[in-house]
Amino acid sequence: MKFRLHALGVPHTITSEEFNACAYTQKVLKFCKMMTERGHHVIHYGHEDSEVICSEHVPVLSRETWNKVYGDHDYTSKFFKYDTKDDAYQEFYKNAIEEIGKRKEHLDILLPFWGWGVKTICDAHKDMIVIEPGIGYTDTFAKFKVYESYALKHSLEGKNKVGHCNPDWYGVVIPNYFDLKDFDFCDKKQDYMLFIGRVYEGKGVSIAIQVCEKLGLKLKIAGQLGDDYANKKFEKNVEFVGYVKMEERKKIMSEAMGVFVPSLYNEPFGGVQVEALLSGTPTITTDWGAFTENNINGVTGYRCRTFADFIEATRNVINKKIDYHECRKQGEKFSLENVAPMYEKYFKDVINLYSKNGWYELE
């Protein structure tokens, strides 16, 4: 079965590899490529400068408006900024609603990757099948939901799903997906550990710093700085390398002895952890959220709960107790080729609800 898919971009970014710090933007970019190359009709709505593989790219946000609203914001050194009431969002909403109206057909699927940030557009097309295609946030609105992990699905469904029989047959888990060309495998590691991502306490960067200080290890930190770290002076063993683009990201991840991903909240997915595995690099994470599904303790890295756990895990990693080839093997489970059929199965199940037999529809 071939599907007609309408993919909504993220208004405050541009759908391209350049915006690799925004997980949602990258999901749009990779999804469009993944499904287009499998023969589905994918229509992308976004910034006019988007660089995306799709059946049709529909510009709904001008370069002029985006530059006026976000042009003076340096997203390479600071977190992204946005306001759904600003001119960029309003222009995006207006034009996307209009352009979708020109193109939609019966049983078309509308995909709000940015969730509530583009709900206004979904509300204007209630005759379409709206599916939230990669939930990594806490508030959902669509009837049909794709969660990034079971940890997040169970968390958002709440305790009533434990004490009562009220199943949601169409709340599915499909993991995030990755383009293998974006990662280089390397088993010749350099003498540093790595933290890469948003640099703030929620991501547990201080744990990485403390562990490396205790063990006398070099730590490289890459990413956008949060306010708490904007003017911070790091210790001599810590090198802040800033925002890294795709090629530099490949190199720094593949040559690290290990990558710290010690998030202090329940990670919905934690894409950096899988990116590290695809680079052949072990990961050291906390012991909750999606890490309990994706970081196999003693195989792809270690899950930790105390400082002593982190110290032991780091020692094991630098002493090569984790097989780099096994890391890559586990990471490849999240390739575009492996994840695409999961979406196809789910889209078919949803569309079957509009057939004569609904949930009972057979092949």
Of 89, 79, 87, 9, the C-alpha closest to 50 is: 9
What element of type H or E holds 111? strand 109-112
* 3-state DSSP of 200-269: CHHHCHHHHHHHHHHHCCCEEEECCECHHHCCCCCCCCEEEEECCCHHHHHHHHHCCCCEEECCCCCCCC
d(CA 22, CA 240) in angstroms, rounded, equals 20
Helix (H) or strand (E) holding 7: strand 4-8
> Each residue's pLDDT tens digit in the chain (363 positions)?
999 999 999 999 999 999 988 999 999 999 999 999 999 999 999 999 999 999 999 999 999 999 999 999 988 888 899 999 999 999 999 999 999 999 999 999 999 999 999 999 999 999 999 999 999 999 999 999 999 999 999 999 998 889 888 889 999 999 999 999 999 999 999 999 999 999 999 999 999 999 999 999 999 999 998 888 877 888 899 999 998 999 999 999 999 999 999 999 999 999 999 999 999 999 999 999 999 999 999 999 999 999 999 999 999 999 999 999 999 999 999 999 999 999 999 999 999 999 999 999 987
What pTM, to 2 d.p., does this model score? Answer: 0.95
> What distances in angstroms separate CA 70 from CA 45, 155, 227, 234, one per listed residue?
19, 34, 18, 29
Domains and CATH numbers, the chain: 4-177+335-360 (3.40.50.2000), 180-334 (3.40.50.2000)
- Alpha-carbon distance of 253 to 148, in angstroms, equals 23
Is residue 136 a contact partner of residue 112, using CB atoms and an 8 Å limit? no
